[in-house]
Amino acid sequence: MKRFVSFAALAAAALAQFEATDFNVTEALLDNGIDCNSLKVLFGDDQVETRSETAYSSWLNSLWSGQQRLIAPECVFKPEKPLDISTAILIARLTECPFAAKSGGHSSVPGGSNIAGGISISFVEKMNAISVSSDKKTVSFQPGNTWLNIYTRAAKDGLAVNGGRVASVGVGGLLLGGGISYTGGINGMSCDNIISYELVTASGLVINVDQNKYADLYWALRGGGNNFGIVTKFTVEAFPLGPTMWGGMRTYTQGAFSALIDAYYNLGMNAPQDGKAHQILSFSFRAPNVQLANVELEYAEPNANASILAEYNAIGGALRDQTAVRSLAELTTLLDGPASGTGLRQGFWTWTMKLDKEMATVAKDIFFEEVTSISDAADLVPAFSLQVLSTPILEKTAKRGGNALGLTAADGPLINALVALKWSNPADDTRMWRFAQKVKDRSFAAATAKGKAHPYVYMNYASPWQDPVASYGSTNKARLISISKKYDPTSVFERLQPGYFKLTRAAYSGSP
Ligand SMILES: Cc1cc2nc3c(=O)[nH]c(=O)nc-3n(C[C@H](O)[C@H](O)[C@H](O)COP(=O)(O)OP(=O)(O)OC[C@H]3O[C@@H](n4cnc5c(N)ncnc54)[C@H](O)[C@@H]3O)c2cc1C
Ligand SMILES: *[C@@H]1O[C@H](CO)[C@@H](O)[C@H](O)[C@H]1NC(C)=O
Ligand SMILES: *[C@@H]1O[C@H](CO)[C@@H](O)[C@H](O)[C@H]1NC(C)=O
């Protein structure tokens, strides 16, 4: 029904009542042409970018993955406050318009933080406040922040938080999926250090969630991803750090590989002795046959000679050594260089095994064996990295009533394995993803045969075809689903925000 009806038509209908008893506001608004684009009418040009605007194109280029940059949303919405997000969610529900939310935009899942033909909500422009509490025990921040912003601000008060290791990564995705941090050996995963969330729910309510208020949601948000609402503020534990610490990357050739794996294993096993040390051991390949190892080492004090790092420090012959005493902010900036790969296509695939020298070696060998099959791909940057979910990290998953990840200290210590690929040609997409899957499948099969496999899939490193929530175990998955039914009974965040890991499924169905 059109809203502009003539008096004659109304009279002709001989209405008993001017407004029908079954008048439907929703239908009337839809008839008036309310749709995704109506955000522009409500919020104005400054908060809504549409396809013809340069701010729309530059927003696309702020996404990390090349595939995400090619997704065309109907509009990019830049909320200023939680109520704006509430309105956007309600408009999305009214018009059945799909939406996505972007914090730092570093999801490796195409469609994880940008949605074709829908509303892509972007926090970076107008929701990037940070504050340190007067007692200096907590830092609160909105989701438009990167870790560099947070560390730079916290350092002014001699503080740090347990966040990401790369400057330009966002706070939103990392904190909702878990979070592996330089200081994880002291504090655990990033999500276990969150004290409260300000959350916009499916019905557009703005609530504060902590261990006492909405305790079930508090548990679910620690690992449940984007399935429970849009977080508009995180309040996290702060701790004194700095002004400097020690760290950086060292690069080695093949001759050092076995010594590096020994040092990786021993540091992982010894983590309970000194949680200040951190490591990422990665392997990379360049055609025709250059095999390199990069080890990223940190110590949460300005000490280059911590005894727990002595085994690593004794490995000579580095091609390059960037380790030095520097601030946390500087370290994250240093690591951003090799990690960024601006504009390239990106792919992640992850799995988990018991911490074991043989498993680390077998997986590394499988990576190098298989990589020759894709080495002709244009602009290929293939990497395989080994991290440790150490006993101290796993113990802290029990903090504040536990989290949704399904990990316990008895599971560990664990290897977190990640294949990370960059390439440029869309025609290579399928074989890139299949390569990553094959390295995972073969390594996981080898681990399974030795009783060293572990089901956990880290959401923040998962490929679109992996199902992290299922990996949390059937009890946790069922609990997450029942919490979702309570706060989001019509599954708004599953139906209308479809592009990421959901409670009942992977981001994509099938396999690449
Ligand atoms: C270069 C690089 C370095 C990395 N380093 C680390 C690291 O040190 N430690 C680690 O654990 N992981 C790391 N990761 C993985 C990282 O945790 C994930 O890529 C994560 O998703 C990035 O968060 P983001 O906010 O930048 O991503 P986005 O793409 O913005 O968001 C990812 C997902 O989270 C959702 N989301 C974001 N904000 C909100 C919100 N406020 N409310 C509800 N949902 C939201 C989005 O909708 C999307 O589905 C790294 C990744 C890259 C590419
Ligand atoms: C109002 O209209 C909408 C859209 O057609 C419909 O989904 C809804 O069920 C209607 N509400 C009532 C109370 O009839
Ligand atoms: C670490 O030890 C080396 C020698 O073993 C010494 O040259 C260096 O100054 C020490 N560095 C720090 C920061 O203590």
- Confidence class of residue 428 from pLDDT cuts 50, 70 and 90? very high
The pLDDT of residue 342 is 72
Output DSSP code: residue 389: E
What is the position in ligand 3's atom list of the atom closest to the CA of 304?
13
Give the residue whose CA is nearest to atom 3 of ligand 3.
305
- pLDDT at 282 exceeding the cut of 60: yes
Residues 283/384, Cβ–Cβ less than 8 Å: yes
Sequence-distant (6+) residues with CB within 8 A of 414 are: 352, 353, 354, 355, 388, 389, 394, 407, 454, 456
Tell me the domains of the chain and their CATH numbers. 2-122 (3.30.43.10), 130-241+471-495 (3.30.465.10), 245-470 (3.40.462.20)
Residues 442/366, Cβ–Cβ less than 8 Å: yes
Output DSSP code: residue 146: B
Local structure of 363: helix, strand or coil:
helix
- Confidence class of residue 37 from pLDDT cuts 50, 70 and 90? confident
Q: Tell me the C-alpha distance between 438 and 455, whole Å.
A: 17
Q: Which ligand is nearest to the CA of 310?
A: 3
Q: Which ligand is nearest to the CA of 94?
A: 2
Q: State the amino acid at position 38 in one-letter form.
A: S
CA of 301 relative to ligand 3 center, distance in Å? 14
- Confidence class of residue 10 from pLDDT cuts 50, 70 and 90? low
Q: Is 163 in the pocket of ligand 1 (CB under 6 A)?
A: no
CA of 502 relative to ligand 1 center, distance in Å? 15
Work out the mean pLDDT of the chain and round it to a whole number.
95
- pLDDT at 36 exceeding the cut of 80: no
- By C-alpha distance, which of 39, 103, 41 is closest to 74? 39
What is the position in ligand 2's atom list of the atom closest to the CA of 30?
4
- pLDDT at 230 exceeding the cut of 90: yes
Q: Is 304 in the pocket of ligand 3 (CB under 6 A)?
A: yes
Q: What are phi and psi of 68, to 5 degrees?
A: -65, -30
DSSP 157-190: TTEE-S--SSTT-BHHHHHHH----TTHHHH-SG
Ligand 2, CB within 6 Å, residue ranges: 24, 26-27
- By C-alpha distance, which of 109, 77, 428, 413 is closest to 267? 413
- Confidence class of residue 339 from pLDDT cuts 50, 70 and 90? low
What is the position in ligand 2's atom list of the atom closest to the CA of 25?
1
Q: How large is the average pLDDT for residues 32-56? A: 91
The pLDDT of residue 2 is 57
CA distances from 404 to 81, 349, 397 (A): 28, 21, 9
Give the residue whose CA is nearest to atom 6 of ligand 1.
164
The pLDDT of residue 69 is 97
Q: Tell me the C-alpha distance between 293 and 283, whole Å.
A: 4
pLDDT: is 364 or 34 the higher one? 364
Give the residue whose CA is nearest to atom 5 of ligand 2.
27
- Confidence class of residue 12 from pLDDT cuts 50, 70 and 90? low
Residues 271/388, Cβ–Cβ less than 8 Å: yes
The pLDDT of residue 341 is 72
The pLDDT of residue 287 is 87
Distance of CA 208 to the CA centre of its chain: 22
Q: How large is the average pLDDT for residues 249-258? A: 98
Distance of CA 413 to the CA centre of its chain: 22
- pLDDT at 15 exceeding the cut of 60: no
pTM for the full model?
0.95
Bridge partners (DSSP) listed for residue 235 = 140, 196
Q: Is 164 in the pocket of ligand 1 (CB under 6 A)?
A: yes
CA of 334 relative to ligand 2 center, distance in Å? 54
CA of 169 relative to ligand 1 center, distance in Å? 6
Determine how many CB atoms are found less than 10 A away from the CB of residue 205.
13
Give per-residue pLDDT as tens, 463-501: 999 999 999 999 999 999 999 999 999 999 999 999 999
Q: What residue has token string 């609990």? A: 479
- Confidence class of residue 13 from pLDDT cuts 50, 70 and 90? low
Give the residue whose CA is nearest to atom 9 of ligand 3.
304
The pLDDT of residue 311 is 98
Give per-residue pLDDT as tens, 145-187: 999 999 999 999 999 999 999 999 999 999 999 999 999 999 9
Q: Is 481 in the pocket of ligand 3 (CB under 6 A)?
A: no
Determine how many CB atoms are found less than 10 A away from the CB of residue 378.
10
Q: Is 30 in the pocket of ligand 3 (CB under 6 A)?
A: no
Q: How large is the average pLDDT for residues 37-66? A: 94
Residues 197/221, Cβ–Cβ less than 8 Å: yes
Q: Is 102 in the pocket of ligand 1 (CB under 6 A)?
A: yes
- By C-alpha distance, which of 413, 404, 408 is closest to 386? 413
CA angle, 90 then 91 then 95, to 5°: 120
Residues 330/277, Cβ–Cβ less than 8 Å: no
Give the residue whose CA is nearest to atom 12 of ligand 3.
304
